[in-house]
């Protein structure tokens, strides 16, 4: 795959966030971290250290040992430097988007749309 065939994981989490909470303009970084976990259950998570280095797919065990941080920009695994430059295959993300958004646990996190206020309300 070419580099253009991938999206940064943080961007992928932001896209899912936008589908879950379409009325929110500001994205919560901790929620993006949780969404990265949901994405990782359906889409391979990859890493590329530099533009010239090869893209490698992270093993599920490696992902399970760590936690996503900084708005899904890093995977921190105890005892080693954090993994940065996390990517997901673009086609796989879009193919799994509806499934990810419909995850039962994420449905419980959905916030209701903001209530409309009316100056004429009694």
Query: Would 77 be classed as within a structural domain?
Result: yes
Would you state the pLDDT for residue 116? 58
pLDDT at 121 over 60: no
- Expressed as residue numbers, the domain containing 50 is 3-107
pLDDT at 117 over 80: no
Query: Would 113 be classed as within a structural domain?
Result: no
Instruction: Write the CA distances from 98 to 38, 51, 118, integer angstroms.
Output: 12, 30, 34
Structural domain count, the chain: 1
Model's pTM, two decimal places?
0.84
Whether the Cβ atoms of residue 90 and residue 6 lie closer than 8 Å to each other: yes
Query: Would 91 be classed as within a structural domain?
Result: yes
CA 1 – CA 46 distance, rounded (Å): 12
Note the pLDDT tens digit of each residue in 38-72. Answer: 999 999 999 998 888 899 999 999 999 999 999 99
Query: Would 117 be classed as within a structural domain?
Result: no
């Amino acid at each position: 795959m070419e580099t253009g065939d991938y999206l940064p994981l943080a961007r992928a989490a932001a896209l899912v966030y936008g589908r879950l909470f379409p009325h929110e303009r500001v994205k919560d970084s901790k929620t993006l971290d949780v969404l990265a976990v949901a994405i990782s259950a359906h889409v391979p998570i990859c890493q590329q250290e530099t533009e010239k280095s090869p893209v490698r797919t992270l093993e599920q065990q490696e992902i399970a040992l760590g936690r996503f941080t900084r708005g899904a920009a890093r995977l921190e695994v105890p005892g080693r430097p954090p993994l940065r430059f996390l990517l997901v295959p673009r086609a796989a993300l879009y193919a799994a988007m509806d499934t990810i958004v419909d995850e039962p646990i994420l449905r419980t996190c959905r916030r209701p749309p903001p209530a409309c206020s009316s100056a004429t309300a009694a």
